[in-house]
Amino acid sequence: MEGAEIIQVANIRDQRGDLFVAEYPKELPFVVRRVYYICNVENSKTIRGFHAHKKLHQVMICLGGSCDIVLDDGSKREIVKLDNPGKALYLKPGLWREMQNFSVNSTLVVFASEEYDESDYIRDYDEFKRYREEMR
Ligand code: T46
- In one-letter notation, the amino acid at residue 53 is H
SS3 call for 127: helix
pLDDT at position 136 is 76
- In order, the DSSP letters of 25-42 are TTT-SS---EEEEE----
SS3 call for 136: coil
The pLDDT tens digits of the residues spanning 68-123 come to 999 999 999 999 999 999 999 999 999 999 999 999 999 999 999 999 999 999 99
- In one-letter notation, the amino acid at residue 6 is I
The pLDDT tens digits of the residues spanning 3-56 come to 999 999 999 999 999 999 999 999 999 999 999 999 999 998 999 999 999 999
pLDDT at position 103 is 97
Mean pLDDT, residues 116-134 taken together: 97
Q: Report which ligand 1 atom has the smallest distance to the Cα of 69.
A: 3
Alpha carbon distances (Å) from 99 to 19, 38, 60: 26, 10, 11
Overall pTM surpassing 0.95 (yes/no): yes
Q: Report which ligand 1 atom has the smallest distance to the Cα of 56.
A: 33
User: Nearest residue CA, atom 3 of ligand 1?
Assistant: 49
Ligand 1 center–CA 17 separation, angstroms: 32
User: Nearest residue CA, atom 35 of ligand 1?
Assistant: 49
